[in-house]
Amino acid sequence: AAAAAAAEEEAQRFGEVCTALASARCALRVLCLGECTRYDRSKGLVRCKRAWLHVILVEWERLRALTEALKANSTLTTLELSGVHGGGVGLLAAALQSHPALQRIRFHRSVLGLNDVAQLVAALKSNTRVHNIGFPRCIFIGTAWDVLADYLKASTAISELNLYGSRAKEQFFSDLLCFCNSLTKLYLPDVRLCAYGAQMLAAALRVNHHLAELNITYNSIGDEGARYIGEALQANDTLAVLNLEDNGITAKGVESICAALHLNVALSSIDLGDNAIGERGADFVCHMLRINHTLTALFLSGTSPTPVGAAKICMQLSERHTMTQLGLSFFDFSEECVPHICRALAANPLQLLVLRGNALGDGDARMLTTALVENCTLRHLDLRCGNTFTDVGVAYLASAVSFHPSLQSLLICNRNSETGKAMIADAIAKRRRFRRKTATSLLLGNHWRAGANSSLQAVPTDILRTLTRLVFKAMAVPEVMYCNEGTQLAAGCCCAKVPTLYI
């Protein structure tokens, strides 16, 4: 009975999808049909712009209905489908061929035969608006892969390609970089790439002048493969993002990569996560950070640099002024690391900071919140998994939510404390009220006033006492501001007409 009810609910949900797609009032831009359901039910599916729905596309009737709905749709830009079997891809290709807005297509865990790929290739040749395609964990039957490979190598429209879990030969990946001149982003996670495959990729990178992002995570290139990639980076002048996570690289391989970054001025982001670099590898990273001035994003999560190596890297990061993204989860944090990270947070225009699994506590939360007073750029802060905050630590982080001008997401673990949840909810509510204010306001202390009718919650008083300097943004405020203790503050140094002053 439960299975029958679930099947009926899924059939109803699929009917809603087709109805919404064919509707003239459809607002859908992103549609993902797979193993989860997530969309704004209050709006209804027709008015949503993004929707993820649990729908299994193995029945021929459903595929036919979806094809007809797509032919009537003119708004969808992204389509992701999971579990398409039995010629379903070829059937859907008829709708993709003439769709006026579609730009991104993904087929997850699907089975594609020769006829499917032939029809899909014909549709992609006809519809040049589609520039982003992917086949994560797909199975190609017979010579279907060869047909797709020939199209991809000759394509002039595809700029982003995802081949997660592909079992293609290494020669294909190399040919792709050599012949597909439109390709700017290539994702090859878990494609069983070894040192030989890395050597072939590296040879292609030396002559490639269009690829901007390369992801080869979850492979086994090892130190030898890292050496080949490092040599290619010295000659490449276009690659900006490189992801080498979980590739069996040790300190020897990190030395090759860091040596290349002494000369490379194009790479701005590198991920070496889940590679056991040790303290010796940490020394190579520190030396690279002292010389390289173009790197803005660094991810070293799970690299086991030892507490001494972690402290060295954190100290080096605190001396930079260009970092925008840092990933240091499960990073062997010591007591010295958090103060260095706080200085880095204040000195760099960081937008993303990930510190999961570092055994942070309430005192660390207090230092991070103090550093956020001087940082106006952070958007995402992740403190989950292995960081234990009581309600005291959550109170500090909640204050950061209420006063920080750009923070969009804060992920913390508070052991399901209702008090902590209430504090975060209250901070979000105060932040929303603050955003609706039109009067000029100054954030400093518990309650600052700009006139008699304007007050808001900001930084706790004990954090205010720890500040050693005030950071002024060029914004217009009244001549005199009053804090809750009645102290006056002159603000004659401000000039631009912006409604809020952050200190």
Residue 466 pLDDT: 37
195-208 pLDDT per residue, tens = 999 999 999 999 99
Residue 41 pLDDT: 60
Average pLDDT over residues 420-424: 84
- Cα(160)–Cα(490) distance, integer angstroms: 53
Residue 83 pLDDT: 85
Residue 198 pLDDT: 96
Answer left, alpha or beta for residue 211, where phi above 0 means left and psi between -120 and 50 means alpha: beta
- Cα(401)–Cα(215) distance, integer angstroms: 33
Q: What is the DSSP letter of 502?
A: E
Look at 54-68, 222-236, 423-437 and tell me which has the smallest mean pLDDT: 423-437
Average pLDDT over residues 354-380: 93
Look at 14-18, 88-92, 217-221, 480-484 and tell me which has the smallest mean pLDDT: 480-484
Residue 40 pLDDT: 62
Residue 26 pLDDT: 83
- Residue 90's pLDDT band (boundaries 50, 70, 90)? confident
Closest by CA to 178, choosing from 215, 197, 152, is 152
Residue 44 pLDDT: 65
- Residue 456's pLDDT band (boundaries 50, 70, 90)? very low
Sign of dihedral through CA atoms 192, 197, 201, 204? negative
Q: What does the block give as tokens for 339?
A: 């103060």
User: Percentage of residues in the chain with pLDDT exceeding 70?
Assistant: 82
- Cα(71)–Cα(26) distance, integer angstroms: 13
Q: What is the DSSP letter of 182?
A: T
8 Å CB contact between 247 and 275: yes
Residue 427 pLDDT: 85
Decide if pLDDT at 45 tops 70: no
275-287 pLDDT per residue, tens = 999 999 999 999 9
Average pLDDT over residues 141-169: 91
Average pLDDT over residues 153-170: 91
Q: What does the block give as tokens for 284?
A: 């190579």
8 Å CB contact between 310 and 331: yes
Residue 479 pLDDT: 34
Look at 178-192, 428-442, 473-487 and tell me which has the smallest mean pLDDT: 473-487
Decide if pLDDT at 86 tops 80: no
Average pLDDT over residues 467-477: 34
Decide if pLDDT at 502 tops 60: no
Q: Which residue has the higher pLDDT, 56 or 209?
A: 209
Q: Which of 247-261, 406-420, 422-436 has the highest mean pLDDT?
A: 247-261
Residue 463 pLDDT: 39
**Angle between the N-to-C axes of helices 195-207 and 170-179, in degrees from 0 to 180, rounded to the nearest 10:** 10
E strand or H helix that includes residue 147: helix 144-154
Residue 439 pLDDT: 27
Residue 471 pLDDT: 36
Write down the pTM of the prediction: 0.82
295-306 pLDDT per residue, tens = 999 999 999 999
State the number of CA atoms in the 13 A half-sphere of 315 facing the CB. 13
Beta bridge partners of 480: 490
Average pLDDT over residues 237-253: 96
95-152 pLDDT per residue, tens = 898 899 999 999 998 889 999 999 999 999 999 999 999 999 999 998 999 999 999 9
User: Percentage of residues in the chain with pLDDT exceeding 90?
Assistant: 53
| Strands 297-299, 325-327: pairing kind | parallel
Q: For the chain, what is the mean pLDDT? A: 82
Residue 484 pLDDT: 35
